Structures are given as structure tokens and as C-alpha cells.
Structure 1
Amino acid sequence: MTHASKLVHGEVLGGRYAIDRVIGQGGMSCVYLAEDLKLPGKRWAVKESQSEPAMQRTVEEEARLLVKLNHPRLPRIVDFFRTEDTGCTYLVMDYIDGVTLEKYFRERRADVPPEFIMSLADQLLEVLAYLHSHEPQVIFRDLKPSNIMLTRMLEVRLIDFGIARSYKSAGSEDTVKLGTVGFAAPEQYGGRQSDARSDLYGLGALLLYLATAGRFSEWITGVERHIRGDLPREMVPVIRKLLQYAPEQRYQSTEEVRKALFRQRTFAAVQEPSPGSAAGTLVAAVLGASPGVGTTHTCIALGHFLATKYGKVAVVEMSVKANAFSRIQDIAEGGQGGTSRTFELNGIDFWRQTSRGEVIRVLGGCYEAVVLDLGAYRDSERLEEFLRADLPIVIGSGAEWRQHDLVTLARMLSRHPQPHRIYALPLAGADSVQRVKRALETEKVVGLPLQLDPFEMLEDSERTYAGICRDFIPTTGRKRKFLFRKK
């Protein structure tokens, strides 16, 4: 059954919200897109629910729950009220411009990139960790494709908290058995109370569903034969453990799952290197949204940071027309105008004016980490190297008048999911970073602090680059200091 909508186009709700159209319907509720008459141009999602006493309590509980939550992957609630004429309750919240995971997956099935599945797992673990960190824990309990929205940048937003609940330590089982068959944990059907491990089961069911082109969402005999072969091998045991029947046999926290997936990513990077690269080589690619945003400066600073964690490191200028490295070489060699296209500085190899063919040779060499300076985006050749990188970084300006360049490039890149892609803004303040996060609809935006000399790693810069490279820092790193002296 589907809840019949009570409002029509043009109707004004609560003297403020002008109804545009229905954007979603379910058995117990309907969601409208509405325009805010007090804030022209602002749009909200309005959830209408039936007004039976039991239903009113459910919606009120959802409202109270959302009010106290504050996370970028959760909708922000702005209003809640009842109306006597419709006999319904209304919840006004952020409108998320995107599609549900259900629709995204239905249109692609087996063509969903494996990188997208990994990115989805990362983002869901992030928001589940936030919910489970509350006291008492907030349990989502309905982690299914239709309850996950994807923005245009493929960022995750959880929607429909209608059956979320706070964990009650004194309870022996859930009062009401709720959840979607096939994605809900066994304990949600009765016998014991659901807890954080119930959401982890739901995560496993969702990942298995995506990994089998929608055929399975529970672990049964022979299901391994249906898991797509392009997924990282070590992901299978992670899914299997998430889907254990008994909660105590699953992972016990989001942190445990994250660590297991991190080990899997590290294993995949070492065992299955990209074509032409040395096994275990970290490849970072830095791409500017426009000229003059600090791409080369960032590459040098990143190379020096990685050299404190890795052994042999190279920074590669991927353009035969660029001249920045030539000027650096001239200074480093005392104005002698060296003819070699490679030179060493502070223990790092610099490759200047490098063609794509030479880049392949660099990646196949003896380096533990390589930083590719792709300059400002101009052609598909540079984009190809960017998309193949382990750590892709887009450099943009924090200035509002230059934001269009970054947004345009980000929208183009949204067709290519990369779980570790970062947007970095040199010299941008906190307000600029937040503005760009909203424009790109992603939390993966960082401001790079002032660093006049990229050859000298200051404490603020070191902390920032440590955060950017968090998933790639070896556990047994070395500390090295650098100082670029003019001769």
C-alpha cells in the first residue's frame, strides 16, 4: 500500500512552504518538494505522515531524534508540526538533490564500479560510527538501497529515520519488529534487542547485494560463486563476517570493519598494482582546477611529506612544456643550467618536463612513492593518470569568484568514483572550506595552511598532509628533515 498524498502543487503549508510536487511515497508517508516563501530559492523536503495516534508518536520520535543529530551525511530538520485540516504530521528537512541508491543501482547493476562500492562502504561506516557514538547509541535499523541518497557527487546521505531507535541497555528485545526483509538483522525479527551490530549486519547485506548484482542480501551456501570477480579478494570475508547470524560472531564496531577494509585495501595495493607500476608503489596525482592555484607548490610539499614516511620518492612534472622544475633545478645547481631532465634535491628525485611514456617508466622503477604534477586540467591524457592514482588530489581556489572552475571539474569527475579523492584549497580559511563543501556536496575538502617554502615542512602543514595521506602512511615511517639551500 502507498500513502495517498494530501497536498497539491501550489498549496502553502504552515504559511511558509509552497508545495511543488511529490518526490517519494511509501506505505506510511509521502515526501514533497517545497519552496520556502520566506527564503526565496530555498527548497525543502517535507515528509507527510498519517495521523493515527501510533503514527504520530513515531513521527514525533523521528523529529526529536533528528534534532539532536548533526552530521553531513544526515538530513537537517528545520520544522515539525501537525495540521488539523489534513489530519497529518509534517517534518521539514533538507532537500537532497540526487537519486536513491536503489535507482542508481537499478540503472547500472553489474556496471557499478568496484571503487564506488568501496567508497559507499567508507561513507556508511563514517555515518554509522557517528550514530553509534551517541549515549545511548542510535541504531538506524533499515540500511536498504531506498533509504540511501546519492548526491550528484555520489556522496551518501541517510534518509528516513522512521524506525531508528536509541539502544536501551535494560531491554531484552525490540518492542516492535521493524526492518526490510533481506537487509534487516535476524534479531530484528524478535528474540533479542537490536544494537550497533544490527546496523553492521545491514551494511553487510547491502554490500553483498551490490556485489552480486542484486541477487543476494544474505549469506547462503554457494553465494561466493555469484560475487563479482573485480572486487578486491579480501572484501569477501569482510562481508561474510558482517552477515553472521549471531551478533557476537560479527564485527563488534564500525572501527573493526574499517580496519578490516583498510587491511584489504593495503593488500590489494601491494598484490595487484596498476599496469606499469612497481608493486607497492603509492601513486599520488595532483590536478589543478585552473592555472595558478598552487598545484606545483602542493606537489613539492606533498613529496617532502611522503619522503618522511617512505624510502625513495619521486616528484614528476607531467608536461613537456612546463618550466617550474627547470627553475628549481637551476637554483639547486647554482645557476649552472643543468641539462639532465632528472635531478636530486633533499633526497627526492625530481623529473622535469616528463612525457606520458616516461611517466610509465618512472612508475615501473624503484620508487616507493611517486607524486605526479598534472598541472591545470586541460586534456584527457592527464585525466587518465589522475583516475589511475591511489591518492587523487584536486587543487582549487578558496576564492568565491574562482569557485566555478572547481565545481565544473568536480562535476565532470563525479562520473568516476574514487574513494580517496581529496579537494585541497591552499590558503583557504574555515569559512571558505565550508562554502566549497556545500558547493561540491562533499566533506572531502581541506584547507592547506600557509607554507611559503614547500621544501620546509611546518607543523601545521605536516598535520594537514598527514590527514590527507591517512590511509597510506606506513606503520614504520621514518622522520627526515629537509632544507632547500640556494647555492
Structure 2
Amino acid sequence: MLQVKEILQERYQLERQLGNNGIRQTWLAQDLQATEAAQSLVVLKLLAFGGAVQWDDLKLFEREAQILKQLDHPRIPQYLDYFCIDERTLWFGLVQEYIAGESLKEKLQNGTRFTENQTRKIAVDVLKILIYLHELNPGVLHRDIKPSNLIWGEDNKIYLVDFGAVQDRAAKEGATFTVVGTYGYAPMEQFGGRAVPASDLYALGATLIHLLTGIAPADLPQKDLRWQFVDKVHTSQVFVNWLQKLTEPSPEERFTSARVAFDALKAGKAIQLSHENKFLKVKEFVNNSGCGIRNTNEKVPEEILGWNWGAFLLPWLWSWTNNVWIGLFSLIPHIGWGMAIALGANGNEWAWRSREWRSIEHFKAHQRGWAIAGMMIGAPLSILMWYLAIMLLGHWF
């Protein structure tokens, strides 16, 4: 029985247990040989061979160590060490970098409800990791994406952990694999022992649905093997369609790769669902732009909201190119500064309503350009005008 403060390999001092599923134990440990304090905390996974532990469990454990040793990605904990101890019980140990933060499962348990913007950010971060894994030669499948295996780091970045179910795709066709995965997140083909890259996409989709609804996928109703979650979320139709595409029951009906799913999410490509006889396009949601600045019935996309530096620093020119004519009040003395502040705070919403845009990305690119122009032209011009005004007041008084 392992105890807190026990030292393994004359190096790793156990601090506290992070998990125990009866087969594996996971500990937070102190690396007594670490040269830097920031690297002293590590995650130590231990497998005691014998008893309930089968050969398949040992194979998965060794496979995790072998594959982690080959991976090099900033959002995947770094492999540090692997060892075995033969003292009464044969222990196998895997040492990894410790990621400070909180798992998405812990956030859900603490009552956090994720917005569409937060969920999209998580989707983008995880898809970037999956693109790296799937495009390795041979490709690597995680096979156990779920909230408990996604860490929201203290740096506000998402990390993918626990590669205990990992599989590389170098095996020959017809080979058998250990069946792994978590019910509700793993697709049917994975329980049949035939995981593919689209299997990880399904698990990601199920995870994102859990974050949006606060309900575990296993507790959601199903129809034709599809999760019924639309009535439980407040999100754009296009994001719902994207999630439905990720979680299609048949892997052939999902996105063909993590890169394709990433491109569709970022660029707003047409999405075809197998149970629909039509294309559901981003335009149905995105192009409510140009609906009119007084139109309060149309919902503005959440991801475009925020402070607009271009409108604040160059209000007179910005208003003209974005058709926000109310911004011309910024030219009137005494109220100009107030109008500039109003444009900075509300400019994105007003510009979206006042002009038609091809897509959200088109809108963002346009506003980025104005922000750069504002920093390079508007800010220096404003400083110069303030300087001249102060000099003029000093001359008069």
C-alpha cells in the first residue's frame, strides 16, 4: 500500500493521490532531483501487476509510455520517465509533466456553465491537438476524450491528458485492439474495436455538448442514435449543426479529419447532415448582418462583441467605412470624445447591424485592420492634438 511522503526510485516523493480506478493509481509527486522548482511537481501513474490487472492493462500502460515518449506538443504533458519496481508487488511507473489547472469535469461539478464562445475556444484548442496527433506518421488516436481528460490550465489554455487508451495506427488491417473508451463519449465503432480519427471527433463533440448543456451525454435522450440537445442550449444554429456533424452515429457521416472540422468551424463552411436533405449553411446565422442598427430582434453573434479600437481611435473614418453614420457625431466639438467611447463600446454590434458581411471572419479581419490603423494613425494623432491643445492653453493663460 502506497503512502503519502513515500519515495519511489529514490526520486519521486508522493504528495497526494489524484485518482484510483482499482487498476491504476495516479499521484501528484515531488521530483527530488529536479533542478528548477517549477519542474519539481510531476504526475506519477502507477500500475501494480497481478491480481485484477490483466495483460491487456499492462499492454495499454506500456503503449501509453512508448507513444508519449515520441510526442512533442505544448498542450500535451511531456513524458519524463518510465520505470518498474519489483518489491513484493511488481509496480510499473510512468512520470509526466504536471499541468497546473482544473479539469473541465471539475468545472462542471462546480456548477460552471460554458458559453458558446468558451466552448468554441475549447473546440479550437482540442482540434489543434488532434490535428497534430492524427497527422503524425503513424497517426495517434487518443480514444478517451472527455471533460476529465481536458485541463483548463492556469494559463487559460486547454491541455489534453491521460493517454491511457492511446493507439497508434501502425497496426496491420485485421489486427485486434483492446476495447477502451467511456460510455457517452466513445462512438459505437470504438466499442467494436475499430477506432478511427473520426472517433476522436465524436468524443470531442459529445464533450462539447456536455459543456453546453451541463448534462452528461449518457443522460441525454436519443433519437436514431443522435443526441437530442438542441432544446437545452442557447447557441447559434450553425454551431449546433457543426456539433451534430461531429456526433453523427456513422463515422463516414462525420468530418473526414480534425483539420476539416477545424476549417469548418473557423471559416463557416457548408455542413451537410445525413438526416437532412439539404445543406445547412453558415449564412443562415452569420448573414443577419445588415439587418439595421435599430433592429433588436436579430441576435448579434457573441464572438464579435467586445471593444473596438478602430472605432475608438479613428471614429470619423471608421464610421464611414462601416456605415455607422451615427459616429459622425464624433466630429462635433464637446461631444466628440463621448461619441468615440460609445463607438468603442458598441461599434462591433452597430457595424454588424449596419452593413452586410460575407462571414464572421470577414468582419473580424476588417475590424483588425482598423484596430491596426487606429494604433498607428489614430493614437499618435490624438496625442499630437492633446499636446497642441495643452500648448495653446498654456499660451493663452
Q: Which residue of the other structure, out of 30, 38, 46, is the alignment partner of 2:33?
A: 38
**Aligned pair in 2 of structure 1 residues 154, 275: CA closer, same or farther (>3 Å)?**
farther
What letter is aligned with 1:108?
A: G
Structure 1, unpaired ranges of 5+? 1-5, 288-295, 315-337, 343-350, 370-388, 394-419, 421-447, 456-487
Q: Counterpart of 1:19 in 2: which secondary structure?
A: strand
What is the alpha-carbon distance in structure 1 between the residues aligned to residue 249 and residue 167 of structure 2?
Answer: 21
Specify which structure has the bigger relative contact order, considering alpha-carbon pairs within 8 angstroms and separated by 6 or more residues: 1
Deviations 1:438-468, CA, capped at 9 Å, x for gaps: xxxxxxxxxx9xx9x935xxxxxxxxxxxxx
What is the alpha-carbon distance in structure 2 between the residues aligned to residue 275 and residue 368 of structure 1?
Answer: 10
Q: Counterpart of 2:131 in 1: which secondary structure?
A: helix
The structural deviation recorded for 1:105 is 1.1
What letter is aligned with 2:97?
A: D
Residue 321 of structure 2: aligned partner: 312
What is the alpha-carbon distance in structure 2 between the residues aligned to residue 311 and residue 125 of structure 1?
Answer: 38
Deviations 1:129-174, CA, capped at 9 Å, x for gaps: 1100111110011112222222234422111111111114632364
What is the alpha-carbon distance in structure 2 between the residues aligned to residue 47 and residue 273 of structure 1?
Answer: 55
Q: Does 1:235 align with 2:236?
A: no
Q: Which residue of the other structure, out of 48, 67, 70, is the alignment partner of 1:68?
A: 70
Q: Counterpart of 2:217 in 1: which secondary structure?
A: coil
**Aligned pair in 2 of structure 1 residues 119, 173: CA closer, same or farther (>3 Å)?**
farther
Structure 1 window deviating more from structure 2 (97-106 vs 268-277): it is: 268-277
Aligned residue-pair number = 331
Residue 207 of structure 2: aligned partner: 206
What letter is aligned with 1:19?
A: L
Q: Which residue of the other structure, out of 7, 14, 19, is the alignment partner of 1:12?
A: 7
Alignment of 1:153-232 (within 5 A): 153-168=155-170, 170-172=172-174, 174-190=176-192, 193-217=194-218, 220-221=222-223, 223-224=227-228, 227-232=231-236
**Aligned pair in 2 of structure 1 residues 58, 252: CA closer, same or farther (>3 Å)?**
same
CA contact (8 A) 2:103 2:150 kept: yes
The structural deviation recorded for 1:311 is 8.8
- Tell me the TM-score normalised to structure 2 length: 0.69
The structural deviation recorded for 1:359 is 4.2
Q: Does 1:94 align with 2:97?
A: yes
Structure 2, unpaired ranges of 5+? 270-281, 324-330, 358-362, 378-397
Q: Does 1:245 align with 2:249?
A: yes
The structural deviation recorded for 1:76 is 0.3
CA contact (8 A) 1:243 1:250 kept: yes
CA contact (8 A) 2:101 2:153 kept: yes
What letter is aligned with 1:9?
A: V
Q: Does 1:454 align with 2:376?
A: yes
Deviations 1:66-117, CA, capped at 9 Å, x for gaps: 01101121110111111112521111111112222111112226x3222221
The structural deviation recorded for 1:367 is 7.0
CA contact (8 A) 1:46 1:93 kept: yes
What letter is aligned with 2:376?
A: P
The structural deviation recorded for 1:263 is 4.5
Alignment of 1:62-461 (within 5 A): 62-85=64-87, 86-108=89-111, 111-168=113-170, 170-172=172-174, 174-190=176-192, 193-217=194-218, 220-221=222-223, 223-224=227-228, 227-264=231-268, 267=283, 268-271=285-288, 285=307, 312=321, 354=339, 356-357=341-342, 359=344, 362-363=347-348, 364=350, 454=376
Q: Counterpart of 1:15 in 2: which secondary structure?
A: coil
The structural deviation recorded for 1:352 is 5.4
Q: Counterpart of 1:183 in 2: which secondary structure?
A: coil
The structural deviation recorded for 1:224 is 3.7
What letter is aligned with 1:454?
A: M
What is the alpha-carbon distance in structure 2 between the residues aligned to residue 174 and residue 28 of structure 1?
Answer: 22
The structural deviation recorded for 1:259 is 2.5
CA contact (8 A) 1:171 1:193 kept: no
Q: Counterpart of 1:112 in 2: which secondary structure?
A: coil
More helix by share: 2
**Aligned pair in 2 of structure 1 residues 148, 244: CA closer, same or farther (>3 Å)?**
same
Q: Counterpart of 2:205 in 1: which secondary structure?
A: helix
**Aligned pair in 2 of structure 1 residues 360, 67: CA closer, same or farther (>3 Å)?**
closer
What is the alpha-carbon distance in structure 2 between the residues aligned to residue 119 and residue 361 of structure 1?
Answer: 23
Q: Counterpart of 2:110 in 1: which secondary structure?
A: helix
Q: Which residue of the other structure, out of 38, 44, 51, is the alignment partner of 2:49?
A: 51
Q: Counterpart of 1:87 in 2: which secondary structure?
A: strand
**Aligned pair in 2 of structure 1 residues 228, 155: CA closer, same or farther (>3 Å)?**
farther
Residue 403 of structure 1: aligned partner: none
Q: Counterpart of 2:240 in 1: which secondary structure?
A: helix
CA contact (8 A) 1:100 1:149 kept: yes
**Aligned pair in 2 of structure 1 residues 223, 61: CA closer, same or farther (>3 Å)?**
closer
What is the alpha-carbon distance in structure 2 between the residues aligned to residue 219 and residue 51 of structure 1?
Answer: 40
